[in-house]
Chains A and B, each alone.
Chain A
Amino acid sequence: MAKKLKAIVRLQLEAGKANPAPPVGPALASHGINIMAFCKEYNSRTSNRAGEVLPAEITIYTDGSFTFVLRTSPAAVLLRKAAKVEKGSGVPNKDKVGKVSRAQIKEIAELKMKDLNAIDLEGAMKQIEGTARSMGITVSD
């Protein structure tokens, strides 16, 4: 059948814990997406990765059907893990909460390359560095 795209929705949720409350409910209800079908499918695909934040990229078609794929964890989550910090800085331009090496940035960029709007690895690394800066995580050589 001729599938025509309506929208791309990415939900950042904790693995195995999708439920109809916001953000899932309002994000999907406005497109007429079967919320229970999504939650059931997401939870069953992610139940073995409890504790991780796993984005689901949902492709919504004009007839109300949808597909979704799991994406890599958000850069911010991977950076926190790499810098061994619990959360980013509330004042990132002043208070630095941690440090990551350029090699770690490269590793994260490689992992996330397919999910980023980057032309090459260099561009992906710049995006990851930008996210690090915005979280108060410094990048060292």
Chain B
Amino acid sequence: MNWLEVSLTVNGELAESVADVLARFAPNGVVMEQSVQFINDVDPGTPAGPITVRAYLEVDDQLEGNRQKLEESLHYLGMIRPLPAPSYKSIADQNWMEAWKQHYRPILIGKRLLVLPAWMQNPDPMRIPIRINPGMAFGTGTHPSTQLCLELIERYFDDRLQRFGPPASSMVDRPLAVIDVGCGSGILSIAALKLGARHCLGVDTDIESVKNAGENAALNVIGEELILGHGSVPEILQGDYAFNQAPLVVANILAPVIIQMLEAGLGDLVESDGELILGGILDPQMESVVQAARVKGFHPRGSRQVGDWAALSMER
């Protein structure tokens, strides 16, 4: 089945009226899309500007009739409130279940990691694959901040490897625990486990993320070595989980949230000789994060930066 896309770009007040007219001819539904405006680099964005309303008419022997009726209805609506002329575009039928996947490519990170979605073949078997299905949780591996944190985690495990030698192949003999605060898709927890951690605790205040992290763990054949929970620093500190300290703690969130978390005891999760990896920090925010960590007895050990984004590793 091919489709004819009809679209009109109108102001917010008119969008629902136009959508109602289009919906009469497109029984599957209509879509409205608004772009995003940014005040500055830190601004996460606000929906703004006109709204594009789209509907899809089936290309069949009734198409011309439906198109005429649609234009008539829009004409009459336009007599009440002025409207732009509709635009048309032919849309060839395709497997929509697969079409969205074309946006994804494997991402090489650091010396040993490779992030790729579930359906993709591993193009580099020498690297450690981390399979993440893009979904409703943040951390698909495409954001610089996630990549920087992964690099720092890899560097942490490489340093350990140099100091203590390779971890025993048995999970039981691996001594290292990791805590991932704001775990999102679970990408950092999964990477830590694949790089040699024995167990990992990942928590997030968003329940959808916890669910998504569980699904991604299963994709990577990770079982009970990853403990997932709904919560943040206070829940870990009050003993809601199997452990409340680890030699490696990661938090890839946002600078203001990290500063609040440091106040709430994020540093207390790190064992005395441990390391804290912090991501989601914009360059101008680096100093305030370092300062907040210094107050809690940490000092910078290393950092990574791509464009405006930075990640820090801190130790006591």
Residue in A1, A24, A34, A88 whose beta carbon sits within 8 Å of that of B279 in the complex: A1
Residue from B81, B97, B137, B184 with most neighbouring chain A CB atoms (10 Å): B97
A-B pairs under 8 A by CB, number: 201
CB contact between B72 and one of A90, A130, A134 (< 8 Å): that residue: A90
Q: Give the residues in chain A near B54, CB-CB below 8 Å.
A: 23, 26-27
Measured CA separation A77–B73 after assembly (Å): 17
| Residues A1 and B143 in contact, CB atoms below 8 Å apart | yes
Residue of B5, B138, B282 with most partner-chain A CB within 10 A = B138
* Contact present for B36 and A65 (CB under 8 Å): no
Q: Is the CB of A65 within 8 A of B12?
A: no
Hey, which chain B residues are within 8 Å of A34, CB to CB?
Answer: 100, 133-135
Distance in angstroms from B117 CB to nearest chain A CB is 9
Q: How far is the CA of A88 from the CA of B24 in the complex (A)?
A: 9
Query: Is B126 an interface residue when CB atoms closer than 8 A count as contact?
Result: no
Contact in complex: A37, B135 (CB < 8 Å): yes
The A interface, classified by DSSP as helix, strand, loop or mixed, is mixed
A2-B280 in contact (CB<8A): yes
Q: Which of A4, A65, A74 contacts B44 (CB 8 A)?
A: A4
Closest chain B residue to A118, Cβ basis: B13
Q: Is B86 on the interface with A (CB-CB < 8 A)?
A: no
Residues of A contacting B47 in the complex (Cβ-Cβ under 8 angstroms): 5, 8
Cross-chain contact B252 with A1 (CB below 8 angstroms): yes
Contact B20 A76 (CB under 8 A): yes
Asked if B140 CB lies within 8 Å of chain A CBs, one says yes
Contacts of A89 in B (CB 8 A): 76
Question: Could you tell me the distance between the alpha carbons of A46 and B279 in the complex, rounded to whole angstroms?
Answer: 36
CB <8 Å contact, A1 and B138: yes
| Nearest Cβ on chain B to A126's Cβ, whole angstroms | 8
Number of interface residues of B (CB under 8 A): 71
Partner of A117, one of B13, B21, B29: B13
Known A-B contacts A4-B45, A64-B140, A134-B80; A22 and B28 likewise in contact (beta carbons under 8 Å) = yes
> Does A12 lie within 8 Å of B32, measured CB to CB?
yes
Contact with B along A1-40 (1 / 0, CB 8 A): 1111111111111100000111111111101111111000
Within 8 A of A (CB), among B292-316: 309
Are A74 and B140 within 8 A (Cβ)? no
Residue of B91, B140, B252 with most partner-chain A CB within 10 A: B140
Shortest Cβ distance from B183 into A: residue = A1
Is A48 at the interface (CB under 8 A from chain B)?
A: no
Interchain CB contact (< 8 A) of A11 among B16, B31, B96, B104? B31
The distance in angstroms between the C-alpha atoms of A127 and B95, with both chains bound, is 38
Closest to B51 in A: A10
Task: Write the B4-30 contact mask toward A (1 if CB under 8 angstroms, else 0).
Answer: 010000001110110111011010111
Does A1 contact B136, Cβ atoms closer than 8 Å? no
Contact check, A5 vs B23: say whether CB atoms are below 8 A apart. no
Closest residue of B by beta carbon distance from A35: B100
Asked if B35 is at the interface of the complex by the 8 Å CB criterion, the answer is yes
* Residue B245 lies at the interface, judged by CB distance under 8 Å to chain A: no
- Residue on A with the closest CB to B145? A2
Least CB distance from A78 to B in Å reads: 10
Is B111 engaged at the interface, CB distance under 8 Å to the other chain?
A: no
Q: List 14 A-B contacts (CB under 8 A).
A: A9-B32, A12-B30, A26-B56, A32-B100, A32-B102, A35-B97, A41-B136, A63-B140, A63-B141, A65-B140, A65-B185, A87-B24, A89-B76, A117-B12
The 7 tightest CB contacts between A and B, nearest first, are: A25-B96, A32-B103, A5-B45, A76-B20, A22-B56, A20-B96, A29-B99
